[in-house]
C-alpha cells in the first residue's frame, strides 16, 4: 500500500475522476488548484490530481515571493 491513511478502494474526489486515491489532503490545500472536488474538509486524490495540486502550490509560492519582492514599491 502506498499511503496508509487512504482506505483501500477509496476513489479520487475530483469530479469525473474514478481513479484510486493515493493521498488525502485538507481541502484548503487544494483551493488554488482549480479542481472540482466533491470532498468536504478532507479530499482524496489520485496520483495525477495530487500532482496538479502540488503544482498549484508551487505556483502560489512563486506568486507570494513575487509579491514580497515588489511590496516595497
Give me the residues that bind Zn ion (CB under 5 A), please: 12, 14, 17, 19, 46, 49
Q: Which residues pair with 46 in a beta bridge?
A: none
Grid cell for residue 24: 488525502
Residue 24 sits at φ, ψ, to 5 deg, of -115, 135
CB of 72 to Zn ion, least distance (A): 41
CB of 59 to Zn ion, least distance (A): 19
> Please, which residue, 16 or 63, has the CB nearer to Zn ion?
16
> Please, which residue, 13 or 67, has the CB nearer to Zn ion?
13
Question: What is the three-class DSSP state of 26?
Answer: strand
Amino acid at each position: 500500500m502506498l499511503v496508509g491513511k487512504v482506505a483501500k478502494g477509496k476513489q479520487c474526489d475530483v469530479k469525473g475522476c474514478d481513479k484510486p486515491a493515493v493521498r488525502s489532503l485538507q481541502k484548503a490545500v487544494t483551493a488554488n488548484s482549480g479542481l472540482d472536488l466533491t470532498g468536504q474538509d478532507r479530499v482524496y486524490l489520485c496520483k495525477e490530481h495530487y500532482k496538479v495540486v502540488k503544482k498549484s502550490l508551487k505556483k502560489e509560492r512563486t506568486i507570494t515571493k513575487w509579491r514580497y519582492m515588489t511590496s516595497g514599491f
